[in-house]
Copies of this chain bind each other. A is one copy, B any other.
Amino acid sequence: MTNTNELQTPVSGDVQQAVNALADAAAIAQHELAQATADTKNGVLMAIADALDAHASDIADANAMDMQAAFDAGMDQGKLDRLKFDVIRVAAAAQGVRHVATLPDPVGEIVRGYDLGNGLRLQQQRVPLGVIGMIYEARPNVTVDVAALCLKSGNAAILRGGHAAERTNAATLQVIDEVLQELHFDPALVASVDRYGREGARAMMRATGHIDVLIPRGGAGLIQSVVHESRVPVIETGAGNVHIYVDSSADIDKAIDIVVNAKTQRVGVCNAAEKLIVHRDIARQFLPRMAQALARAHVTIHADELSMRIMGDADIKDIQLLAADEADWGTEYLALEIGVRIVDSLDEAIDHINRYSTHHTESILSQDYTNIERFTKAIDSAVVMVNASTRFTDGGVFGFGAELGISTQKLHARGPMGLQEMTTTKWVGYGNGQVRA
């Protein structure tokens, strides 16, 4: 049962030492940043945004080289699009930094505070986490987002972007570096391990005591490898095998709108619906109309036996219908595909979802108070929607302004992670000579 990944992929002592040293320098710089006022930090962000605009063409030139190399290496169109960081996208990223500057600063917020009987005044205050490590795929806008969110929340960032974006990231980080120096902040606050390639990422995962938390962002493969290999505490993000349960009491018109929206409003995102669980008592009224709407939206349906029969019997134009197997229930399609299963009861739906879900977001469509109460309590996921699209699980929609990712684990942060989730707390007790009796 022992996981030996890290022995299969050793890290040279030199690289480990170099990455630990980057993190330690970041920690020292972070101790100063932690004491900066919100005004000061916002000033840094505004200067970074201006500098990104001023150097947009340098960054775009570096990106053009990355794009060419990736194209030559046969990168697919979707990934090439995510890699693209032309002057328009640099300008959009700069606007994003200005937006982060407008968000409230979580640092210093008093979470709890009260006097003990002896006059000692206790306050639990929000403080930055420290050094946040981020391992992500070749998406240069993430570099800008994460740097801005970390600086705003008083944290240092150690970054490993994808290999394909190395020139773009280097050009971007140089701009940030120069602004930090100009404003007399230590550029160690935002550092990259890209020069060490994949070994740098693995060294980050072993930088226990140097990096406070590691956040992987990207595909399921990347996230799982970080979760399994890391010795540094990880916040697991992203993967969404998202379910919608259509109860026997559901409003069918609304249900069809919600499922179509949750599946097709944007494809390939973690909060898109992947599975439709339907109560047997509504299946014959609901499924033929639902299937017609999905067919019109070019969604392929992976159906269990009974739902296959119901949809197959109906006369549905252009339907793409496949038989679902066990593997379907655990699959996040990230495509115009959806799995459909009929259940005999609410409890069967809950059991199925808790078994196969990645604990991101699930939704119940129902008019029955008791069933809604039971579903929202029993479902073990970060977000449970009632009569609403799963697409609402998003830091921006939740009012966080920007998000670092969506946590699908239970410790520290659960659901969209904004600036508040990038903090921890510190208790301060103000006394005047109190001793314990």
Q: Does A3 contact B (CB under 8 A)?
A: yes
Min CB–CB distance A241 → chain B (angstroms): 15
Query: Would you list which residues of chain A between 369 and 408 have a CB under 8 Å from chain B?
Result: 376-378, 380-389, 391-393, 397-399
Q: Does A174 contact B (CB under 8 A)?
A: no
Contact at B7–A410, with CB atoms within 8 Å? Answer: no
Stretch at the interface among A59-67, A292-300, A310-318, A423-431: A423-431
Contact at A384–B265, with CB atoms within 8 Å? Answer: no
Contact at B130–A429, with CB atoms within 8 Å? Answer: no
A114 CA / B412 CA spacing, docked (Å): 21
- Taking a contact as CB atoms closer than 8 A, the residue among B31, B213, B262, B412 that contacts A354 in the complex is B31
Contact at B387–A432, with CB atoms within 8 Å? Answer: yes
Contact at A436–B377, with CB atoms within 8 Å? Answer: no
* In the complex with contacts A122-B398, A212-B411, A426-B414, A389-B434 CB distance below 8 A: yes
Chain B residues lying within 8 Å of A6, measured Cβ to Cβ, are 2-3
Contact at A414–B410, with CB atoms within 8 Å? Answer: no
Give the residue among A265, A412, A426 with the most B Cβ atoms within 10 A: A426
A261 CA / B120 CA spacing, docked (Å): 15
Contact at B392–A434, with CB atoms within 8 Å? Answer: yes
* In the complex with contacts A384-B429, A391-B436, A411-B233, A399-B114 CB distance below 8 A: yes
Chain B residues lying within 8 Å of A385, measured Cβ to Cβ, are 428-429, 431
Query: Would you list which residues of chain A between 202 and 222 have a CB under 8 Å from chain B?
Result: 203, 206, 208, 212-213
Q: Does A415 contact B (CB under 8 A)?
A: yes
Contact at A391–B425, with CB atoms within 8 Å? Answer: no
Q: Does A11 contact B (CB under 8 A)?
A: yes
Contact at A383–B429, with CB atoms within 8 Å? Answer: yes
* In the complex with contacts A388-B434, A436-B261, A31-B378 CB distance below 8 A: yes
Q: Does A181 contact B (CB under 8 A)?
A: no
Q: Does A74 contact B (CB under 8 A)?
A: no
- Taking a contact as CB atoms closer than 8 A, the residue among B10, B124, B251 that contacts A2 in the complex is B10
- Give the size of the chain A interface in residues (CB under 8 angstroms): 75
Give the residue among A10, A235, A386 with the most B Cβ atoms within 10 A: A386
Q: Does A254 contact B (CB under 8 A)?
A: yes
* In the complex with contacts A392-B436, A410-B129, A411-B424, A430-B386 CB distance below 8 A: yes
Query: Would you list which residues of chain A between 240 and 269 have a CB under 8 Å from chain B?
Result: 251, 254, 257-258, 261-262, 265
Contact at A433–B251, with CB atoms within 8 Å? Answer: yes
Minimum CB distance partner of A230 in chain B: B231
Minimum CB distance partner of A437 in chain B: B265
A231 CA / B13 CA spacing, docked (Å): 23
Q: Does A16 contact B (CB under 8 A)?
A: yes
Q: Does A116 contact B (CB under 8 A)?
A: yes
Min CB–CB distance A154 → chain B (angstroms): 11
- Taking a contact as CB atoms closer than 8 A, the residue among B231, B424, B427 that contacts A410 in the complex is B424
- Taking a contact as CB atoms closer than 8 A, the residue among B233, B382, B389 that contacts A427 in the complex is B382
Q: Which 10 A-B pairs have the closest CB atoms?
A: A388-B431, A261-B435, A254-B433, A391-B436, A410-B424, A412-B412, A388-B434, A1-B16, A383-B427, A411-B412
In the assembled complex, 25 residue pairs joining A and B whose CB atoms fall closer than 8 Å, in A order, are A1-B13, A1-B203, A2-B7, A2-B11, A2-B206, A3-B231, A7-B7, A31-B380, A120-B388, A122-B398, A129-B410, A208-B228, A381-B426, A384-B426, A385-B429, A386-B430, A387-B430, A388-B429, A388-B432, A388-B435, A392-B429, A392-B436, A411-B424, A414-B427, A415-B426
A34-B378, A383-B428, A383-B429 known; 9 new pairs, CB 8 Å cut-off, are A34-B377, A213-B411, A381-B426, A384-B428, A386-B429, A388-B429, A388-B431, A389-B435, A391-B436
